[in-house]
Chain A
Amino acid sequence: MSDKPLLQADGIAKRFGTVVALRSANLQVEPGEIHALLGANGAGKSTLVKALSGVHRPDAGSIRVNGELFDVRNPRIAAEAGLATVFQDPALIPDLTVEENLRLTNLPSEVVHDWLERMDLADVDFEAQIRDLPLPTLRLLDLARALARDPSLLMLDEITAALTADQAEHVFAVMEDRKSRGKSVLFITHRLGEVLRMCDRATVLRDGQDVEVCVPGEVGEAGLVQAMLGEVAKATPDESSALASLDEAPVALETIELRSGDEVRGVSFSLRAGEVLGVAALEDQGQDRLFELLSGDRRADAGEIILADGEALDARSPYDAVRKGVVLVPSDRLHALLPKRPIRENLTTPLYNKITKWFSLAGDEKQRVDSAIDRLSIDTRAGKQAGRLSGGNQQKVVVGRWLASGFRVLLCFDPTRGIDVGTKQQIYHLLRELADGGAAVLLYTSELAEIPLVCDRVLVLYDGEIVDEQPAVNATEQALLTAAHGISEEVA
């Protein structure tokens, strides 16, 4: 390795409103190395990559390329400096054809086509519109486009997440090829097996800071996990006495052979009152669609959802689901929050669903609001616009909405994504409390390590089907990961 690193980022900081995405992150990539960037959800990996590619202007910190200070003002400048990025969301224009997209970025289609050929995608129609192409193809197309620039540093943000095993192999071949030519790759992935197999060094981020630089082969998977997780949020797992009594508890919601397109392919499970049922899955295994079906946002192609007392849910819109007490906390607060409105209005929206409630305000509105705020200890100082609250408080508002209006089944889709540890604990604690109070909770979380801390049971979803079910106390992260990868997934 030469004395000057190819890329050196020092003290990069970035905040969005009240949310701190990066505190102070350092990263060094040497020429000719494959470098992994690791971290739990919300650790700041994507933000760092975006800062390095000119998408976000850092609030503080410096970026050096080949030892020289470099102001990455926009993606174009980054590309000219030899930094090419394949983002999590493909940077392709949906309404233009492949060929037009290439012309837009001034890349010769022959070169891109050569790269596609090497990845077994020679048959992509360059006259097809991007929106008609499947996601894996778009990822690889984006990769081919980045490669066509022959960048000195190729940054890949979760590129393998939506790829099949053989497609991923093509990506690995490309990475090896870059390395053999003395070029570098910055590789972001959740799959530690890939890191152990491919990467020379790894930088681990936690809470917006780099906490460790290591050689993956030396520390092993356990060492990487340890570095990524740090102090695991410690909620006290409930006593197994609760578990025993659950078998007696009435079923609050049951699905029978639920199907929807290719996403959900025959899912049956039952959720009991008083239970927190976990759902564990890798990205895009059908969990999004499953929650859409349960919350009434979409109708199933086949199958049934049965509620307590044997009534079918059969929701045509979320209204029907909410009316029958099945309510959703989505992961993306942009889908749940009224950012311009005060906390109070955010909490009370569902109270006015029915036309008969339109003519006045609920008499007990204030009590409901106050008790929800109290129970969740929401910080109301910035209460005039919910958008000004911190991420954690915003999520509390979203949960609080259902506390204020009442429910029987709470669907939580990754409710702690990008939330600080303290608030996470509060939310988990609340979910437990709600369940102990007789509510049924279905919880999908991308943070597998936390499932045993909150859940009673856990289902593992893979490719639209439930492939495993176990009591949560046994569900270590390792066990869940193995199950979540299905059986076909090969891990080196």
Chain B
Amino acid sequence: MTTARLGSVRDVDWRVALRRYGWNTGVWLLLIALLVFYASTIPSFGSFQIASIAKNSLPLVFLAIAQAVIVIAGGIDLAVGSMLILSNAVAAQLMDEQAFGITLMVAVLVILMAAALNGAVGWVISVSKVPDIVVTLATLFIIAGLALLVLPSPGGGTSDGFRALFTGSATGTGTNFWPALVMLFVPMLGAAWWMKHSRTGLSLYATGSDPTAAYLSGVNTARAKIVSYAVGGAFAAMGGLASLAITGSGESRFATASNFTLKSVAAIVLGGVALTGGIGSVVGAAAAGIVLFVLSPVLSAMGVDPNTAQVIQGALIVLVMMIAGIVQLRRERAA
């Protein structure tokens, strides 16, 4: 086997680096370009706009992170949107008219509840051997139903402090963008670090990348599945809490749930997470979440009406996926 190349791989060039970090960098550059363009198009771009974009993209960003964690581990969760509205509904009921301290405790409780519930979904998937997509299609309905039971009609509320925690102001609108930015970046970077540096996080990548090799390496793949769903549930709950803080009251419409789910899938795909698992990062998914949100104000600033914006958004996703598909195909041919 004279042709087998030996160990040296230091000469693997920029192409490898591009493949590993290219997509992430690209999405962030796209986001920055969009923001710069937005800033230059509208008459006044200031802290109000920054705060508005940062806080309003929070729910989708959290949901994108939730979906990314689950998909990286080899699953897919169609019920993240339902989990968002369930957490939103529970929190709105329990936090109504409560002091800031209590609302904080409720928030922690809601996150833990969502993690436990979604962890149970992961357990059902690994025990029943029913495909992820079917189980979570069912839980999409079940969890949305629970949300509707908890909060039959829009209502409930939260404390001013809690609203300020996510939005920077007690009314949900203002110019203080720091809280929203902190809420955006801290959980995102935390999740990214955990995924790549803890053994549990790596076991999620391993399970999604090659379940057989992961099992042979001593990874408990069933546990990895359950953990990924639990963490995803927790982030979906964060999304629910964020939207409660933004609007000041809860709502549990089924359409919101299914819409959010679809957007979370779009976000991770745009963010470079492979639906086959093992590839991608929560950072990319989060950036794509912001991009999907920012796209509409940017396009409307350009004078494109919102409906055309919607068309462009869909076409953009298809285009990105086609390019990714062709790149993948060429790489396989070359191999």
Direct contact between the two chains A and B in their complex (CB within 8 A): yes
Interface residue ranges, A against B (CB under 8 Å)? 53, 55, 74-76, 79, 85, 87, 89-96, 100-101, 103-106, 116, 120-121, 123-125, 128-129, 132-137, 140, 162-164, 262, 284, 463-464, 488
Bound Cα distance from A77 to B196, whole angstroms: 25
Interface residue ranges, B against A (CB under 8 Å)? 1-10, 12, 16, 20, 196, 199, 202-203, 205-206, 208-210, 212-220, 278-279
B-side contacts of A162, CB under 8 Å? 1, 4
Question: Judging by beta carbons under 8 Å apart, are A262 and B3 in contact?
Answer: yes
Question: Judging by beta carbons under 8 Å apart, are B12 and A75 in contact?
Answer: no
Question: Judging by beta carbons under 8 Å apart, are A96 and B209 in contact?
Answer: yes
Interface of B (DSSP majority class): loop
Bound Cα distance from A75 to B212, whole angstroms: 11
Question: Judging by beta carbons under 8 Å apart, are B205 and A95 in contact?
Answer: yes
Question: Judging by beta carbons under 8 Å apart, are B206 and A136 in contact?
Answer: no
B-side contacts of A85, CB under 8 Å? 216
Bound Cα distance from A89 to B4, whole angstroms: 17
Write the nearest CB–CB distance from A97 to chain B, whole angstroms. 9
B-side contacts of A103, CB under 8 Å? 199, 202
Bound Cα distance from A128 to B199, whole angstroms: 18
Q: With A104-B199, A104-B203 in contact, do A94 and B7 touch (Cβ < 8 Å)?
A: no
Bound Cα distance from A55 to B217, whole angstroms: 10
Question: Judging by beta carbons under 8 Å apart, are A128 and B12 in contact?
Answer: yes
Choice from B4, B8, B217 contacting A135 with Cβ under 8 Å: B4
Question: Judging by beta carbons under 8 Å apart, are A76 and B218 in contact?
Answer: yes
Q: What are the nearest 5 A-B pairs in CB distance?
A: A91-B216, A76-B218, A95-B209, A95-B278, A121-B7
Question: Judging by beta carbons under 8 Å apart, are A96 and B206 in contact?
Answer: yes
Question: Judging by beta carbons under 8 Å apart, are B218 and A105 in contact?
Answer: yes
User: Counting chain A CB atoms within 10 Å of each CB, which of B16, B205, B216 scores highest?
Assistant: B216
Write the nearest CB–CB distance from B87 to chain A, whole angstroms. 31
Bound Cα distance from A279 to B6, whole angstroms: 28
A-side contacts of B208, CB under 8 Å? 95
Question: Judging by beta carbons under 8 Å apart, are B4 and A132 in contact?
Answer: no
5 A-B interface contacts by CB (under 8 A): A95-B208, A95-B278, A95-B279, A96-B206, A125-B12
A-side contacts of B202, CB under 8 Å? 96, 100, 103-104
Question: Judging by beta carbons under 8 Å apart, are A132 and B16 in contact?
Answer: yes
B-side contacts of A91, CB under 8 Å? 213, 216-217
Question: Judging by beta carbons under 8 Å apart, are B4 and A134 in contact?
Answer: yes
Bound Cα distance from A139 to B214, whole angstroms: 16
A74-B218, A93-B209, A95-B279 known; 12 new pairs, CB 8 Å cut-off, are: A75-B215, A85-B216, A95-B209, A100-B205, A106-B199, A123-B9, A125-B10, A134-B5, A136-B6, A162-B1, A164-B6, A488-B2
Choice from A90, A94, A95, A133 contacting B9 with Cβ under 8 Å: A133
Question: Judging by beta carbons under 8 Å apart, are A55 and B216 in contact?
Answer: yes
Q: With A93-B206, A93-B217 in contact, do A164 and B279 touch (Cβ < 8 Å)?
A: no
A-side contacts of B216, CB under 8 Å? 53, 55, 75, 85, 87, 91
Bound Cα distance from A121 to B5, whole angstroms: 12
Question: Judging by beta carbons under 8 Å apart, are A104 and B8 in contact?
Answer: no
Question: Judging by beta carbons under 8 Å apart, are A89 and B213 in contact?
Answer: yes
B-side contacts of A488, CB under 8 Å? 2
